Chain A
Amino acid sequence: MRNPITSVRLKSVLEQLATPFVSVLLAFAIGSIVIWAVGYDPILAWTSLLKGAFGDARRLGDTMLRATPLIFTGLAVAYGFRAGLFNIGAEGQLFLGGLSAAWLGLLVVDLPRGIGIAIMLVAGALAGAAWAFIPALLKARVGAHEVITTMMFTFIGRYLVSYLVTGPLKAEGQIPQTVKLAPETMIPKFSETFGIDFGRAHWGFVIGIAVCVLMWWILKYTTTGYEARAVGFNQWAAETGGVSVSRTIIKSLCISGALAGLAGVVEVIGVQGRLFDQFSSGFGFTGIAVALLARNNPLGVIAAAILFGALSAGAGTMQLEADVPQKVIFIIQALVIFFVAADQIAKWVLSPFKRKGAENA
């Protein structure tokens, strides 16, 4: 006999997964129509995309590489959402995290590798949190909308980095970038550890998964997490229940900023080895899509980030083999966000199945 509790649990987990799953399918279906309408072969496009993302160890590595910053930014946005805050400025916090790593990386070179990396991760998280602090304070004190303020801080942060890499922190030479970090201060690559060619994939991917699990636990089992969820669910009820709303807003947005800061750190000490103007290809913004697809569940973030990582890793092969312009993956991303947000559409698609399920029961 089945345990009724587990069965109810399983059913609710499946129900939670159904909407995102249908949303992704719908996004690919519309993407297929677009591709077909302009004269390409959608089947060939998606199979070559799959091959490009998972075809061999190197390509799998590329998917993991591209998923890594998205795990952190997706988690950052998701955590904010749980507290009712839309941290659209993860990109800016990421730049500040990257900045701190690019600078500290030069100083920790004599420390043991693990300690150096730990210092850079903590410092980068603090830098990201600091960049979210003023928007958080303004939100809590005068109600300034975080969508505008964190966005403004993204521009300010990007210009700050642009100034530093062309001026005070610029390495010798023509290109505006910081000094390349020594390999022994960087996060080890999977290829070094396992002796298999995983391309440029690195242990930041695993750190990301660990941080997701940690945040899942924090949200579920700690006071900090409880307060964040309470404020996100209903501010007035939370306040009545004894939760300080303004303190929780500040804390939650800073935690979100810290997670985005980590994304910048792992990009610098995992991949680039230095900071320059364009070191992020909009990871902070793609993080929004990741969070929405994951329905703000930290564990879901892992899967959603891998999906988006795979899309971007496979796009090159798709263009090469099926001739379909890579930019179609942005269209897919936008559609995924759309269908997850407008979940009535997915629910409507699912409704015949649900009724059938109810009849069988």
Chain B
Amino acid sequence: MLSDIITPDLFAAAVRIATPLALAAIGGTICERSGIVNIALEGMMLVGAFAGVVGALATGSAWFGVLCAILAGALLALIHAFASINLRTDQVVSGTAINILALGLTGFFMEVIYGHPGTTDSAPRLMPVFNISGPTEGVLGTIWTWINGVFLSFTPIVYIAIFIAIFGQWALFHTRWGLRLRALGEHPRAADTVGISVVRGRYSAVLMSGALGGLAGANLTLEQVGSFTEDMTNGRGFIALAANIFGRWTPGGSYLASLLFGFADALQIKLQLFRDVIKIPSQFFLMLPYVLTVVVLAGVVGRAVAPAAVGKPYEKG
């Protein structure tokens, strides 16, 4: 029974589900570290998912789709950056507007381009990177199934996300870029005083988060689902924000938190198969990430402290 539940594909599913969350969460980390709240990750992911499919369908190249997704996410982020940095609009309000805008733009252009609402045709997809055949029999076979399933069965963006998490973690705490980014979010005036451009720094951070949100969307459509459905992100951008908090505003932490949320979701899907034996409703597993986030915010497991200047517009004094 337990060996039916705890299988390589359970862990593989957790990693797959975690990937878009992690990419967006790291986007949120970078953005908030620079002092800009980004609740528009949901919309950036949605636009990325759509642009990815449009690009891939138009050219037949999934990688071109990925490029379109990244650009679309960044383009939407540009609006957020302009509103938050130049117009000093309330960042949460601007983010809310962008989420609604993304819903409208994707739905509208879906009908304009494909002539119908709902779901697009299947687009070319990115295939798993490795395709190695190993032993199938005996103990070696079991070991190989685990190694292959948990580490080698994934599509490119899954590995890209892991790389970004590790590289981002290092860069945030061990490079000049990271130090400057953190300074912008903690004490922009001090950063300004020593000659760091707050405007340029924040713009690049917001654009980066949009690009990551777009990439997360590309992972959804071009690797997981294969087509675009209206509102398909279904709150993932908000779970990503939660993962960013859960991961204490660090890229590595964001990835691990996403993995935890992904595991809860994968387990929930798996347990549906054993509905007759295990009588815990799936909804309670689905609630788990949100309950955990509230628990973290409540300070039950240590304090979650946001960058000090997050959400505050900066005016050059």
Contact = CB atoms under 8 A, between A and B. Distances in A.
Given A147-B92, A325-B107, A328-B108, A337 B299 contact: no
A327 interface: yes
Contacts of A292: 93
A337 B107 CA distance: 19
A330 B281 contact: no
A352 B73 CA distance: 36
Interface size class of B (residues with CB under 8 A): 35 or more
Interface string B289-317: 01101100111000110100000000000
B-side interface mostly: helix
A333 B107 CA distance: 14
A330 B293 contact: no
Interface string A224-260: 0000000000000000000000000000000000000
B87 A344 contact: yes
Given A88-B96, A148-B245, A138 B297 contact: yes
A155 B103 CA distance: 19
A149 B297 contact: yes
Contacts of B37: 147
Contacts of A344: 87
B39 A147 contact: yes
Contacts of B89: 338, 341-342
A152 B100 contact: no
B87 A334 contact: no
B241 A159 contact: no
Contacts of A331: 101, 104-105, 108
28 contacts: A88-B92, A88-B96, A142-B299, A145-B297, A147-B39, A148-B293, A148-B297, A149-B294, A153-B294, A155-B235, A155-B287, A156-B290, A156-B291, A159-B284, A159-B286, A160-B283, A162-B283, A163-B284, A327-B117, A328-B108, A330-B104, A331-B108, A334-B97, A334-B98, A335-B97, A337-B93, A338-B89, A342-B83
A345 interface: yes
A86 B293 CA distance: 18
A328 B290 contact: no
A289 interface: yes
A337 B79 CA distance: 13
B90 interface: yes
B263 interface: no
Give me the 10 closest cross-chain CB pairs, A-B, nearest first. Answer: A330-B104, A327-B107, A334-B101, A331-B104, A325-B111, A163-B283, A144-B297, A337-B97, A334-B100, A159-B283
Interface string A153-197: 101100110110011000000000000000000000000000000
B229 interface: no
